[in-house]
Amino acid sequence: MRLHVRGHRLPDDQPVQWWIVDGTLSAEPVAGAETVFDQGWILPGLVDAHCHVGVGPGGAVELDEAIRQAETERDAGALLLRDCGSPIDTRSLDDRDNLPRIIRAGRHLAKPKRYIPGLPIDIDDESQLPAAVAEQARRGDGWVKLVGDWIDREVGDLAPLWSDEVLKAAIDTAHAHGARVTAHVFGEDALPGLIKAGIDCIEHGTGLTDDTIELMVEHGTTLVPTLINIENFPGIAERASRYPVYADHMRNLYARGRQRVAAARDAGVPIYAGTDAGGGITHGRIADEVDALKGIGMSPTEALGAACWDARRWLGRPALEHGASADLLCYTDDPRYGAAVLNRPDLVILRGRVF
Ligand SMILES: [Zn+2]
């Protein structure tokens, strides 16, 4: 089927039209194409830069539920997902041309009892971390995910999992395998070691200080704050009453989190939109994260770019260009208006097929 769409592109609002042949975008007119969209805005597929396909509220899910999660993301316009760690093998989803593209980080790497039970590969002896990183780098799609900090029940508070030395060795190993590294970090103390070791991205980052923000700028580290997931911190604190220091710490991180992410943005740290869908967040909420990014000072266009064209460039995937896969969204109303518009595209086109 040959299709034609016409509208305005973003961020520059210029008129644009595309033809779609055999699942691919063409900037050149194609004979016999049916015009399926003729006024409004045309965007590359949205990006959820932090989600977990294969994880539900109770932990790992069956493959058919993972497929439903991916369908939910597609229907909300998220056509490119950076999976930040999944305990199940979702590679067979790549064979289904009706599902979003997934960039996998393999499985979370943690120490025993230092992350959500059942999700990570537990590493008893940290000297094994570089080898574990190498294995995940080979199995993933260019990313490796570390758990950078978590509650240490013996300390009764958040604490880093890894020594600075092993982090350097592990991150160097990932880079030697052509993979980038990111880490889950809620608190303050794990950040200097990770950033100085050359980590590529920080997830959450609620514990950023002015000093660690400066380190991120110096090292070119990126931030995916998952703002809608930070809303779960008060509930985490509530359930942690046996660990009052930790509970207070989580409340404190919650109270300062948005201001810290805003400070990182002001300092020039690149920030992208991720929901953390999978555990405490349901799939299909990228539009809510875009709205939340406006709350830390991003303009509507900048916030949308963080979940769209800018995120695609960061992940090394094409936006709308001649010869690229036709993964696009059409909106009659301005998608910068808010989540009510953004999560209801008038047309979702994935690999040239209309949904
Ligand atoms: Zn996550």
Q: What is the 3-state secondary structure (H, E, C) of 218-230?
A: HHCCEEECCHHHH
User: How far is ligand 1, taken at its centre, from the CA of residue 82, in Å?
Assistant: 10
Report how far ligand 1's centroid is from the alpha carbon of 276 (Å): 5
Report the pLDDT value the prediction gives residue 171, as an integer from 0 to 100.
Answer: 98
304 CA distance to ligand 1 centroid (A)? 21
Is the pTM higher than 0.95? The answer reads yes
Q: Where are the beta strands (DSSP E) in 23-131?
A: 24-26, 34-37, 41-44, 46-51, 55-56, 59-60, 78-83, 101-104, 109-110, 121-122
Q: Which residues of the chain have pLDDT under 50?
A: none
Is the omega angle on the peptide bond into residue 225 within 30 degrees of 0, that is, cis? no
By the CB criterion, residues less than 5 angstroms from ion ligand 1 are: 84, 276
Fold of 46-318: TIM Barrel (3.20.20)
| Ligand 1 centroid to residue 183 C-alpha, Å | 9
Give the distance (Å) from ligand 1 centre to CA of residue 28: 41
Distance 105 CA to ligand 1 centre (A): 11
Q: Are strands 109-110 and 121-122 parallel, antiparallel or unpaired?
A: parallel
Q: Give the Å distance between the CA of 219 and the centre of ligand 1.
A: 23
Per-residue pLDDT reduced to its tens digit, 257-268: 999 999 999 999
Query: What pLDDT, on a 0 to 100 scale, did the predictor assign at position 26?
Result: 98
In the reported structure, the alpha carbon of residue 172 is separated from the centroid of ligand 1 by a whole-number distance in angstroms of 23
Predicted confidence at residue 148, as pLDDT, reads: 98
Give the distance (Å) from ligand 1 centre to CA of residue 52: 6
Q: What is the pLDDT of residue 1?
A: 82
Which pLDDT score is estimated for 294? Answer: 98
The predicted pLDDT at position 279 comes to 84
